[in-house]
Structure 1
Amino acid sequence: MTDDQIVPPAPPGALDQALEMVRAGGPVVAILGVLSVVALAIVLVKLWQFAAARVGDRRTARRALALYRSGRSAEALGLLARSRNPVVHVLGCAIRGTLRRDLPEATVREEVARLAGDRLESLRAYLRPLEVIAGVAPLLGLFGTVLGMISAFQQLEQAGSQVNPAVLSGGIWEALLTTAVGLAVAIPVVAVLAWLERVVDRVTHEMETVVTQVFTSDLTAEPAANLAHAEPRHELPRLRPAAVMADR
């Protein structure tokens, strides 16, 4: 085979580059890689859970609440039964509780609060591990950098007067690699965690809003209704000065 027929080596793939980073960064980069895989798995599970629960559906609960307030409780419960939304489940429990005359309102409120707490706790599941990963990943990267710098300066000390700048620069590069990997893991986890928490907060607010309206009256519509059915007030006739003088 001639020199013209020599095939150049193929560029390293993504897997080879990842293995090279793990080799250069040591066990800290390997731990960060495991944390990134765990974080990705949790995010995928939460996305599937939110999609299955239809947490973005706000119309069903609002329509059912309007039906209930208009006296069409059966239609409201039928509409709520066809949805998996956690707000809808809690609202259905509140409506069914108010329809039962044998239960006091305090008991219904306690049961609704318990069910709401269970649904919200289910939505918050696995968010704490994401929070831990987002906080630990930069610290692990910094820890790996410190260890790498210590190793680089130990090699510099052992070299004595024959210092090779390549050895020192290579050690510093490998040390800074762990910090970069730690930040690369933490930044997207923090962003996704903030979005997931915002979704749970919106569900909590919507749940409190619709459930409270089951046990209260619509104060925005009450004044207009009162004015429409209010009887005109009859005022006492005022006596004119001339009539007063005539009586005298």
Structure 2
Amino acid sequence: MPVAWETLGTGGPIIALLAVLSLFSLTLIAVKVIQLWPVRSGLARRAEAFRQWREGDKHAAQQTVTAGSSPADRVTAYAMQALAKGFRGPRLESELMRRGNDEVARMSGMIRTIELIAVISPLLGLLGTVLGMIQSFQELEMAEGAANASVLAGGIWQALLTTAAGLLVAIPAAVGAGLLSARIEGAAQRIESAVGEMLLTDENPPV
């Protein structure tokens, strides 16, 4: 292991840092996947709750939507509770917007960290390449022209290895952050749609 570490030259510490960032980002992605898995669920449950609300069975509607686990279910459940208590108008809409924003903020936690890892990993790899190239040319200068091509080539591949490592860390992080962000956007749309349908249902009771 020490021999392998020495072959990395100045890129060794950067490779180690990139390995830590890779493990950290993959762990965050796994945690966020588990957290965000149910955020777009409950569409059929909410449709059933809206039907019960329109038919006048408000208690059953609240029980139906409260059983859900998605952000849209939680915001809808609060909307039903507030409407059942006579809380309406701009104040209710503002509170629903606040709760919706809180749900989105909670879902978005740590996404910025994953995006940051995707941004800085290639830069760290490039830094390692630059440091490795500097070291190679310093060795060439110290050899006063006596160094052969294999020595210079060895220094170059060691330097380029850090760039490759940086890209290997950045690509999964960028893909993960993009897919997770898309799922959060979809959940936010579900919240907005559910709130809009709930308010419309309450304004248009059955005749």
* TM-score (structure 2 length as normaliser): 0.89
Q: Residue 145 of structure 2: SS of its match in structure 1?
A: coil
In the other structure, the counterpart of 1:28 is 14
In the other structure, the counterpart of 1:157 is 141
Q: Compared with structure 1, are the counterparts of its residues 91 and 23 closer, same or farther at alpha carbon in structure 2 (3 Å cutoff)? A: farther
Q: How many residues are aligned here?
A: 203
Counterpart CA distance in 1 for 2:34 and 2:173 is: 17
Counterpart CA distance in 1 for 2:88 and 2:195 is: 16
More off after superposition, 20-29 vs 187-196: 20-29
- One-letter code aligned to 1:149: M
More off after superposition, 121-130 vs 160-169: 160-169
Report whether the alignment pairs 1:50 with 2:36. yes
1:194 to 166, 178, 187: 178
Report whether the alignment pairs 1:97 with 2:79. no
In the other structure, the counterpart of 2:73 is 88
* Higher fraction of helix: 2
Across the aligned residues of Structure 1 and Structure 2, the Cα RMSD in angstroms comes to: 2.4
Shift of 1:67: 2.3
Report whether the alignment pairs 1:203 with 2:187. yes
Report if the CA contact (8 A) 1:148-1:175 is conserved.
yes
Note the alpha carbon deviations across 1:100-139, whole angstroms, 9 max, x for none.
12x3422222221221121111100000000100000011
- One-letter code aligned to 2:175: A
More off after superposition, 31-40 vs 169-178: 31-40
Report whether the alignment pairs 1:78 with 2:66. no
* TM-score (structure 1 length as normaliser): 0.75
Kindly report structure 1 stretches of 4+ aligned residues shifted beyond 6 Å: none
Q: Compared with structure 1, are the counterparts of its residues 94 and 41 closer, same or farther at alpha carbon in structure 2 (3 Å cutoff)? A: same
Q: Compared with structure 1, are the counterparts of its residues 94 and 23 closer, same or farther at alpha carbon in structure 2 (3 Å cutoff)? A: farther
> Whose relative contact order is higher, 1 or 2, with alpha carbons under 8 Å and at least 6 apart?
2
Report if the CA contact (8 A) 1:22-1:30 is conserved.
no
Please list every run of 5 or more consecutive structure 1 residues that lacks an aligned counterpart in the other structure.
1-15, 230-248
